[in-house]
Amino acid sequence: MPALSRRDLLSVLTGLTAFGVGTAEAWAKSGKRSVSTPKPNKLPKPAKPVTKPAAQAKPKLVFLDPGHGGKDPGARGVRGTREKAVVMMIARLLQRELQAGGRYRVMLTRGNDSFVALRERVARAQAAKADLFLSLHADSHPDADVRGASVYTLSEDATDRETAALAARENRADGVVAGMRLAGKPDNVANTLVAMTQRGTVNDSRRLAETIVRTLSRNGVRLLPRSHRQAGFAVLTSPDIPAALVELGYLSNPQDEKLLTVRQHQAALARALRASVDAHFAAGAATRKA
Ligand SMILES: [Zn+2]
């Protein structure tokens, strides 16, 4: 195909003028188009007018995502603790913590022990225009000595074997139970990452994850080494919403399992996560003012 007609074709595909952009950007924009609600040729929003009142803006909407649910129990502890149950308890405590100050509205991707597909969780957060998405999980490991919390953000390909295996476990809910073959759709994650990069969501998510790691550590929560990791989690693919997945500990480790079922520890985790959310938005506000 001659060069000119290929450019013409690209411009048709992407809605861009034929000579205005390079192919890499065109590809990026076409990726963006395919994963988001289409807003053709829309320019970035102008900066907010400076007439913004000093009064508190409307409360931020925090979307909490207790992992698994219903026919998908998630990980199972050595003493039979179910991941879907403990993450729900901690999500409820965190919801209460966040709502107490009046600074946040909180919604959950599931309000009871029901099965909600991963894509549906993302869709619910997007429909509600959430400001933050926090997925709560507890992991398991063949080595019962492995323990501690870790925080994940989305990556295109999990280079680390451990994180790849974890993403596979957490994504299995859709792959098998809901009949959605995530493995057959690698482009979704790749395209979403392009969109997220363009909108700054990748950076915001990484900043969120680092804040959570720092705050959990400061609050005495035991963490895995290299606490912030990246993996291809289907539930972290909202292009507009900063998102992180927290593995709160290992149900395969007897001490972690016990802690995760103890109300006091659950409450401590909820407080530490609330402090993380506070710190995330405080840092965001500081950045915007600077
Ligand atoms: Zn899980």
Count of the separate structural domains present in the chain: 1
Please give the Cα distance from 22 to 33 (Å, whole number): 17
Does residue 20 form part of some domain?
A: no
29 assigned to some structural domain: no
Separation of CA 137 and ligand 1 centre (Å): 4
Secondary structure of residue 136 in the 3-state scheme? strand
- Domain membership of residue 2 (yes or no) is no
**CA dist 37 → 34, 82, 109 (Å):** 8, 36, 20
In a domain, 42, yes or no: no
* pLDDT tens string 12-29: 333 333 333 333 333 333
Rounded mean pLDDT of 78-88? 96
Predicted confidence at residue 201, as pLDDT, reads: 86
Tell me the per-residue pLDDT of 118-146, one tens digit each, with 9 for 90 and over: 989 999 999 999 999 999 999 999 999 99
CA of 151 to the centre of ligand 1 (A): 12
Closest CA to 214 of 272, 139, 284, 286: 272
User: Three-class SS of residue 139?
Assistant: strand
The model's pTM:
0.74
Q: 61 CA to middle of ligand 1, Å?
A: 23
Instruction: Look at residue 155 and tell me if it is in a domain.
Output: yes
Residue 242 · residue 283 · CB < 8 Å: no
Q: How far is the CA of 114 from the centre of ligand 1 (A)?
A: 14
CATH code assigned at 217: 3.40.630.40
Looking at the predicted structure, is the pLDDT value of residue 61 above 90?
yes
Is 109 a residue whose pLDDT tops 50? yes
Domain extent at residue 68: 60-289
Do the domain assignments include residue 38?
A: no
* The pLDDT of residue 42: 54
Joined tokens for residue 134: 């926090």
Per-residue pLDDT tens over the stretch 238-258: 888 999 999 999 999 999 999
Cα of 257 from ligand 1 centre, angstroms: 14
- N-term to C-term CA, the chain: 50
In angstroms, what is the span from residue 28 Cα to ligand 1's centroid? 31
User: Exposed, middle or buried, 135 (CB in 10 Å: 0-12/13-18/19+)?
Assistant: buried
Residue 19 is which amino acid?
F
Q: Please provide the average confidence, as pLDDT, over all residues in the chain.
A: 79
Distance 128 CA to ligand 1 centre (A): 23
Instruction: Tell me, yes or no, whether 14 lies in a domain.
Output: no
**If you search the block for the tokens 């392009």, which residue do you land on?**
194
Q: Is residue 191 in some structural domain? A: yes
The answer to whether the CB of 234 falls within 8 A of the CB of 117 is no
